[in-house]
Structure 1
Amino acid sequence: MSAYLRIGTLFSVLFLNCALADTPSDLWSLYVEASREDPVLQREQAFHQASQQREQEARGRLLPQLSLSNTYSRSHQQYEQGRLLYNGSSHGINLRQPLYDPAVWRSYERFRELTEQQHLAIDDTQKQTALQIAELYFAILAAEDERDLTEAELQATQRNQQRIQALFKRQMAMLTDVLDADARVAELQANLLDAVNAAQTSRDAMAERIGRPVEEPLKRLGTQPDFNQLRRHEVDWVAKALQLNPALRSQEHGIAAAEHAVREAKAGHLPQVSLNLTAQRSDLGYEGNPSPESTNLIAAVGIQLPLYSGGSTRARSAALQAEQQAASHDYERLRREIIRQTRNAQLKVETAPARIQAATQALQAAIKSRQAAERAFELGVFNAVDVLERVRDEFRSRRDLLRSQYNYITQLLLLYRWSGTLSEQDLRTVSKLLHE
């Protein structure tokens, strides 16, 4: 019976996998998978966990330090008069509380800034992952559009090739027309192979991010997608980016952490004050000699003032100051890049609707031009080259329209990513524009 159960389970799993392979995926579902499986994002999350623990470690050095000591001994002493054999023990508890330790406090402040920096780095990585998944998604659609349109163009060209060959047999077309049609068919067949490879390469790139083969069909844009529900209107995108971009804010915390590190190093010249409370009970005396059991309660304030460390404290401070300057330069470089990228994305977003409108009109004109050329060829007004050129123009216009729509969406998401406003809701909105 168990063998039959295993066979039934196997067929159930295979059936489920086949069903999933036929279920179309959209942008949101693939992003959810990437959020779970993307090693880049998981790496940043691991770094964040490590920074949280280091902050806790630094905070623990500010809190009371409690230690317990127990000593058990058995002593054998030899004298001229004889020997002495006895057992001894000593028990103690010590509490140490730093009262003034600037190096420890500034170390805690530094790790607190580093934790916040890593938290913002995760936010930036999540936004970057969302953008990259969207870019890969539409790259797959564009590659498969290229494949499908090339195949359709090949079929249309082959129909014209057959028509030209039939006319040639009736001496109504020239040999050059036949040769041009044959050359165009051969070119499209080669282009189709490249398009098939490009489509598979695009899916492999997506599979690398989500950790599984992407073999199911993907949902596509409708015939007249409403991009207005995705568009947000902002007066000053650059100001928004400088305020909200998580990578830039992460750099700000990195600079603050570097400043605390410099102050921590300079604290090596400052005194340290601590309170020590000790309780001890022992029956051991000097050099382990037996003594009556005694209890000692000690309260002490310790002051430690460093005088000279061979110049290492000053050198460490200078090195950390140089690292702080490097962090400031990185911040300025990133700030300038964000300004440039935000403006560039904003300009492309503003011109994208006009480009889509122009591509739509160009496609309509190309369809009419191809239809007119085919009728003119039948009447002997156009030659075969004219017809093939019109077919090529029509399919080029179809490609341009689809790519302009994909570019509009990705440029919008890119603008939101640089401005720090890209959210999961944006991906959900894009997914609503997709249909099976």
Structure 2
Amino acid sequence: MRLKLLTLALTLAAVSLPSHGEDLLDAYRQARANDPVLAQADATRLATGEGVNQARALLLPQINGSLGLSQTTGGGNERVQDPNNPNQFINTSSFGHSRTRNLSANLSQTVFDFSKYASLKAAHSSANAQDDTYQAALQNLFVRVSNAYFTVLTDEDQLTFAKANEDAYKRQYEQSDQRYKVGLSAITDVYQAKSYYEGAKAQTIAAQNTLDNDREALSQITGQPTGSLKKLRDDLPMGAPDPSDPDAWVKQALANNPALLAQEQNVQAAEHNVTAARAGHLPTITANVSYGKSSSWYENAAIHSNTPSSTTIGLTLNVPIFSGGLTQSQVRQSIYNRDAAQDSMEIERRQVKASTLNYYRSVLAGVSQVLSGKAAVDSAQKALDATRAGFEVGTQTMVNVLLAIQTLTQAESSYSQARHQLVLNRLLLKQSAGTASLSDLQDINALLQ
């Protein structure tokens, strides 16, 4: 049996909205394309990934080339051999300034530098951590969109109930006023009915303001104006979470939660950084190949000299002996950072476990709340009908009627909130377990009409 006041409220809502509205998947697609929070996480992921390329570059060949041109003016006289007559010498002061050109190239390749290898591993771990963080942000987008969407639906229900409540109090006030005018009730009934009616109008205004704010919050995520939204249908799945063992959910969460996986990767990166810092005590070996050539000439003479080009090949062994305590300090610093990363991971692990158990229990409690909420609305409706009938025959007071209307409205409000929160809690449980996906949104979307 449908409930009278609830039926009227939902009918009014249906009349005021188009038959086709935006659904949850529409909102998600808009958010996926426009949400700056997810875009920021993606940009951070890409930026962190470049750290791998930068760390690897230090292990690859390094090639440098240089070309230098210098000019010398003055500097006194110098006797040089005449290139046209080797038996004669020429005074260079009459030739003007001299110019020199130097050409060099150098190729170096790291043969052994353990700190660079450890830094590359740390960069890989940091990039993996950011990949997991991005996955956490993506799953969080599912929840943020769904939460904002169902918050708007809840607000719309609250506004509908508030308007229906206001209309009910208004009719009761008008009825009391008519009864007072014909001498069937006291002026007290009129004052009481008017008081409830005025309070209901204030609640309607507040509900409208809350709805407007939360519609804007949804638009902030999607980047698009919020239109009419499809409603949650009456028949919801009332089953327990699958699997029905909370420990199984915790085990799944500890293995799959992306935020926890990111913390584990951060610990790995910190471990590699400790290794890299300790490698500062180790020797390094670098292979080098260098090529050089230079030439010089005078401004006003045909004197030109070239130095034969030279190629040098060798290995450089660098042995750190003492750096003023810098290396030891860097080792201690990296150990402290590793310990902090381990503590952050433990904090996240405990939070994931607690959240998973909380959401599991919330789903179980939510099923009971929806069932009891529906029964409460049914009972409140019947109580209001009986109270009104009693008031007509004089066995109930005006206050009793007003309180019965208030009780029904509160029951409807709680029932609406319980239904929407049950759907969200199921998704939050999946998110905590690290398994929330687009298919979960599709399942939720199938519950809309």
Cα shift at 1:234: 5.3
CA distance in 1, matches of 2:265, 2:332: 20
1:245 matched to 2:254: no
Cα shift at 1:141: 1.3
Cα shift at 1:281: 4.1
What is the identity, as a one-letter code, of the residue corresponding to 1:219? K
CA distance in 2, matches of 1:49, 1:269: 33
Change (3 A) 1:179 1:68: same
1:174 matched to 2:173: no
Higher Rg: 2
Q: Which residue in the other structure is 1:396 paired with?
A: 410
Cα shift at 1:140: 1.2
What is the identity, as a one-letter code, of the residue corresponding to 1:56? N
1:205 matched to 2:214: no
Q: Which residue in the other structure is 1:305 paired with?
A: 319
In structure 1, runs of 5+ residues without a counterpart are 1-20
1:36 matched to 2:33: yes
1:82 matched to 2:94: no
TM-score, length-normalised on structure 2? Answer: 0.86
What is the identity, as a one-letter code, of the residue corresponding to 1:255? V
Q: Which residue in the other structure is 1:259 paired with?
A: 271
What is the identity, as a one-letter code, of the residue corresponding to 1:186? E
Cα shift at 1:111: 1.2
Contact (CA 8 Å) 1:355, 1:404: kept in 2 or not? yes
Q: Which residue in the other structure is 1:369 paired with?
A: 383
Cα shift at 1:50: 1.1
What is the identity, as a one-letter code, of the residue corresponding to 2:339? Q
Q: Which residue in the other structure is 1:186 paired with?
A: 198
1:136 matched to 2:133: no
Q: Which residue in the other structure is 1:45 paired with?
A: 42
For 1:93-172, list aligned pairs within 5 A: 93-172=105-184
CA distance in 1, matches of 2:424, 2:360: 12
Which string of whole-angstrom CA distances, capped at 9 and with x for unpartnered residues, describes residues 54-100 of structure 1? Answer: 21111111111122233445666731651067665443332211010
What is the identity, as a one-letter code, of the residue corresponding to 2:39? Q
Q: CA RMSD in A?
A: 2.3
CA distance in 2, matches of 1:91, 1:234: 76
In structure 2, runs of 5+ residues without a counterpart are 1-17, 80-89, 298-302
Aligned residues: 410
What is the identity, as a one-letter code, of the residue corresponding to 1:327? A
Contact (CA 8 Å) 1:26, 1:219: kept in 2 or not? yes
CA distance in 2, matches of 1:241, 1:334: 11
Contact (CA 8 Å) 2:162, 2:204: kept in 1 or not? yes
CA distance in 2, matches of 1:26, 1:92: 67
- Match among 441, 445, 449 for residue 427 of structure 1: 441
1:407 matched to 2:421: yes
Cα shift at 1:238: 0.7
What is the identity, as a one-letter code, of the residue corresponding to 2:30? E
Q: Which residue in the other structure is 1:273 paired with?
A: 285
Cα shift at 1:292: 4.9
Q: Which residue in the other structure is 1:7 paired with?
A: none
Q: Which residue in the other structure is 1:57 paired with?
A: 54
Contact (CA 8 Å) 1:22, 1:217: kept in 2 or not? no
Contact (CA 8 Å) 1:226, 1:433: kept in 2 or not? no
Cα shift at 1:295: 3.5
